[in-house]
Chains A and B, each alone.
Chain A
Amino acid sequence: MSVLDSKVPKGPLKDKWTDYKDHIDLVNPANKRNIDVIVVGTGLAGGSASATLAELGYNVKAFCYQDSPRRAHSIAAQGGINAAKNYQGDGDSTYRLFYDTVKGGDYRSREANVYRLAEVSANIIDQCVAQGVPFARDYGGLLDNRSFGGVLVSRTFYAKGQTGQQLLLGAYSAMNRQIARGKITMNNRHEMLDVVKVNGKARGIIARNLITGEIERHSAHAVVIASGGYGNVYFLSTNAMGSNTTAAWKIHKKGAFFANPCYTQIHPTCIPRSGDYQSKLTLMSESLRNDGRIWVPKNIEDVKAIREGSKKPTDLSEDERDYYLERRYPAFGNLVPRDVASRAAKERCDAGYGVNATGEAVYLDFASAITRYGKEQAKIQGITNASEAKIYELGQAIVEAKYGNLFQMYEKIVDQNPYKTPMMIYPAVHYTMGGIWVDYNLMTTIPGCYAIGEANFSDHGANRLGASALMQGLADGYFVLPYTIGDYLSDDIRTGKIATDTPEFDAAEKEVKERLEFFTTNKGEHSVDYYHKKLGKIMWDKCGMSRNAEGLKEAMTEIKALREDFWKNVSVPGGANEMNPELEKAGRVADFLELGELFAKDALTREESCGGHFREESVELDGEQEGEAKRNDTDFAFVSAWEYKGEPSDAVLHKEELEFNDIELKQRSYK
């Protein structure tokens, strides 16, 4: 038997969570006061968990590297949050949300976790409305919904194009209430640099105060990692500049298995890169695919003319355009899941049809939507014989109300007006489905150490559907972890405060200090960014949207060599006992340089195509699905959980076999 015990409760799928909650051990309110919990990260998962744990009575110590918990990168999520409310009466249900999520994840997620996620989704919306989150409403005063990719219902709740911001500010407000009560001790501008284990259990962390550089010891009865994903291993991604894997990687090195690192989401609708100086990529919300149509020119001559500037995209007639998603996937059209849409864009651009100078861009066009809305408005407002210009004006107002801030953002970056000319988009790294392996309780393989939100691997399989990240973050933080952690902490009511003047803390602190000292004293030649960019290029070229065995082997060798060079030749200005952003980056990139190699190893091991992981060796060779990704359920229906053994290439694979009892494994067809 595998060393991995998922602890999925017995019984029918729909009763598991309710029955489980009814039977877990609880900590009585008086005892909760004697128990401390550390939460690292204050995004949707960490913020909601901190607030809820504090409401329950635990003493929470929260940490974020930003200057305020309100700035965690969940804030940048634009489109929305899914919930099986069925307010639209379009046949949505808990089962359907569960089904869509498992199918969207290409049958590589754990059934019981996903069902629970779908089950608590409706509570999230209720909770957020009660907190004063201003979701979009219709004229009757009720909540509005939109559609996202990979589903056939409208279940996405939103707040303009700033849903993540509003949900995070909701969680932040809940935190503020507990900070004011003294139940959360908030440590802003702090970075966790190691976890401390005592008798095998997670009992604290070593953190660096990013203002003074001071190294601090913090103890607790449990440690929750909510530090997000590792998309910045690619250097360029839609993640924030500071987003990093350090907290997750440190617990991995101390015994937490890392699951499915190769599952990365490359989001189809981002603003294309413009030059070598580029520091990050900007997402255009998937919600735009509700109304935008994606195309490239049908004829290669038109592509050339557009690149040279002798033709404009608006010069091309309908039959000179190739709406390739609508052509290839008539059932889902522009709303296919993200992995499918991204690969289709890459396919067209690789064939030479990219529409900008770099050849890496396709159009996202709103003209049809503007006309459609315009006609509808003309009818509503009783304007007969409206001119084309009037219809366009009416339609533009509707599109502006729906996506105004996104259009403005696009114009500011690209310097083109997307109401007048189609947007240019290209896929970019956006989210990582892989992460720390957790059981049904969200506990890692280190007792007392939990991972929630994007930091864990559990709910999205090999591909995440749009508007599901916010749902998962808040589900974990508000409604799952606060229950499951009690079951573990019920054994700790007599433990008392965890001391920090112990050999375990001494050892961890020493290790952290030595590493910082290395960076500040090493007389190297290259900046941290030099290495980060090189790593990013290897990752994008060889572990990007499509992968093959040869490239992955090369990636492993190249990353190892780059890492060795980094530890010899990196140069970090400034000292350790002061605010030093370069020193922060050095530590993060050092961890990315290890994770990248494990990523490639994982991708090499998984000799199938599934979700965001596309192996060129594994495609359908004939029939209706020719050229589409080919999954292999016989040999690969498992979670890859890697155990750290020193070098990333020495990591040991443990398999959690995935069982599907309530869902039939099928090829994902969006045709």
Chain B
Amino acid sequence: MNLTLKIWRQKSPEKKGKMVDYKVTDISEHMSFLEMMDVLNEQLINSGEEPVAFDHDCREGICGMCSMYINGEAHGPDRGVTTCQLHMRMFKDGDTITIEPFRATAFPVLKDLVVDRSSFDRIQHAGGYISVNTSGNTQDANATPISKHDADEAMDAATCIGCGACVASCKNSSAMLFVGAKVSQYALLPQGQVEAVDRVKNMVAQMDLEGFGNCTNTGACEVECPKGISLENIARMNREFLSANLKG
């Protein structure tokens, strides 16, 4: 198929960016979206132009590195996939595709489609862990049974890949799905209880400090999340936050 691409080009964080049109031809429907971008870049390199910078790594939907806002949706039109898993069969010959970086105050653009998501890391530094040293003397893994239901729910929350699609999709640029997922994972497990109060307070405080907005329950984040992280995690975080503040 032949396509027109409208892509955000921005040389560096300080420089102004703009949308630039490109044409690509003979794109196979079996290609992944990023393989289509590879074709474009090879074309640009061969004609002496600078290729489009974009983040990507594992190309199997798990590292969370790829981003891109495609035709107004984080990770594009398909559901339950990252951009690297999006296939060209979702598009048709003659389409014009608009490709922008994830937009949010807390995700500044570094170059073209590459954004800085280190704010996510800093939220994790604020409490996304259980304080246990490596010793070889921790108790036996089966000493504390955990109900399958809780373990499975914790796992569902823990599948978050930290890509930031939730933030990019939210009209408030809220990171509450991301933070809620981590808070939930630990809240559902006995190991997470000891530090539960401080964890939720500290992570929420850091989230606010980074400039992420609040949640107004539109649910766009859940729809666009490539891993299907549920809105319930935001509700759970709100409960944890409320009870943490009541406990003082």
The answer to whether A binds B is: yes
Tell me which residues from 93 to 137 in chain B have a Cβ below 8 Å from any Cβ of chain A. Answer: 110-111, 114, 116-118, 120-121, 124-126, 128-134, 136
Interface size on B (CB < 8 Å)? 77
Picked from A66, A123, A242, A275, the residue with its CB within 8 Å of the CB of B136 is: A123
B89 at the interface (CB under 8 A from A): yes
**Complex contact B131–A68 (CB within 8 A):** no
Interface size on A (CB < 8 Å)? 81
**Complex contact B58–A76 (CB within 8 A):** yes
B51 at the interface (CB under 8 A from A): yes
B81: which A residues are within 8 A, CB to CB? Answer: 412
A73: which B residues are within 8 A, CB to CB? Answer: 57-58, 63
**Complex contact A211–B110 (CB within 8 A):** yes
Picked from A141, A277, A574, the residue with its CB within 8 Å of the CB of B148 is: A141
A129 at the interface (CB under 8 A from B): yes
| Shortest beta-carbon distance from A267 to chain B in Å | 13
A52-B134, A277-B39 given; A66·B155 CB < 8 A: no
Tally of A-B residue pairs with Cβ under 8 A?
A: 214
Of B28-36, B216-224, B234-242, which binds chain A? B28-36
Distance of A529 Cα from B185 Cα, bound (Å): 41
Tell me which residues from 1 to 31 in chain A have a Cβ below 8 Å from any Cβ of chain B. Answer: none
A127: which B residues are within 8 A, CB to CB? Answer: 132, 134, 136, 138
Picked from B11, B34, B191, the residue with its CB within 8 Å of the CB of A130 is: B191
**Complex contact B59–A279 (CB within 8 A):** yes
| Shortest beta-carbon distance from B85 to chain A in Å | 5
A351 at the interface (CB under 8 A from B): no
B63: which A residues are within 8 A, CB to CB? Answer: 66, 71-73, 75-76, 240
B116: which A residues are within 8 A, CB to CB? Answer: 67
| Shortest beta-carbon distance from B225 to chain A in Å | 14
Picked from A159, A240, A275, the residue with its CB within 8 Å of the CB of B155 is: A159
A446: which B residues are within 8 A, CB to CB? Answer: none
Distance of A48 Cα from B136 Cα, bound (Å): 13
B58: which A residues are within 8 A, CB to CB? Answer: 71, 73, 75-76, 240-241
Tell me which residues from 144 to 189 in chain A have a Cβ below 8 Å from any Cβ of chain B. Answer: 159-160, 162, 165-166, 169, 172-174, 176-177, 179-180, 186, 188
| Shortest beta-carbon distance from B205 to chain A in Å | 13
Distance of A156 Cα from B43 Cα, bound (Å): 46
Chain B residue at minimal CB-CB distance from A175: B129
A445 at the interface (CB under 8 A from B): no
**Complex contact A412–B87 (CB within 8 A):** yes
A125 at the interface (CB under 8 A from B): yes
**Complex contact B60–A67 (CB within 8 A):** no
A177: which B residues are within 8 A, CB to CB? Answer: 129, 131
**Complex contact A176–B158 (CB within 8 A):** no
B154 at the interface (CB under 8 A from A): yes
A280: which B residues are within 8 A, CB to CB? Answer: 59-60
**Complex contact B59–A131 (CB within 8 A):** no
> Which of A85, A179, A277 has its CB near the most chain B CB atoms (within 10 A)?
A277
Interface string of A569-589 (1 = CB under 8 A from B): 001011000110110000000
A137-B151, A415-B89, A579-B111 given; A409·B59 CB < 8 A: no
| Shortest beta-carbon distance from A290 to chain B in Å | 19
B42 at the interface (CB under 8 A from A): yes
**Complex contact A573–B49 (CB within 8 A):** yes
Distance of A142 Cα from B49 Cα, bound (Å): 57
Interface string of B51-87 (1 = CB under 8 A from A): 1010111111111110000000000001011000101
A125: which B residues are within 8 A, CB to CB? Answer: 141
**Complex contact A277–B65 (CB within 8 A):** no
Chain B residue at minimal CB-CB distance from A71: B63
B55: which A residues are within 8 A, CB to CB? Answer: 67
Distance of A76 Cα from B61 Cα, bound (Å): 9
A60 at the interface (CB under 8 A from B): no
B211: which A residues are within 8 A, CB to CB? Answer: none
- List, sorted by A's number, 17 A–B pairs whose CB atoms are closer than 8 Å: A55-B134, A70-B162, A71-B57, A71-B162, A126-B140, A129-B141, A130-B191, A132-B185, A132-B192, A135-B151, A166-B158, A173-B124, A176-B121, A241-B58, A573-B45, A573-B51, A579-B110
Apart from A132-B154, A186-B121, A275-B30, what are 15 other A-B pairs with CB-CB below 8 Å? A67-B116, A68-B64, A127-B132, A127-B136, A130-B139, A137-B146, A141-B148, A141-B151, A176-B121, A211-B110, A240-B57, A277-B38, A412-B81, A415-B87, A579-B53
Q: Which residues of B contact A (CB under 8 A)?
A: 11-12, 28, 30-32, 34-35, 38-39, 42, 44-46, 48-51, 53, 55-65, 78, 80-81, 85, 87, 89, 110-111, 114, 116-118, 120-121, 124-126, 128-134, 136, 138-142, 145-148, 151-152, 154-155, 158-159, 161-162, 185-186, 189, 191-192
The 9 closest A-B pairs by CB, nearest first: A141-B145, A173-B129, A134-B155, A134-B154, A129-B141, A180-B125, A71-B63, A177-B129, A130-B138
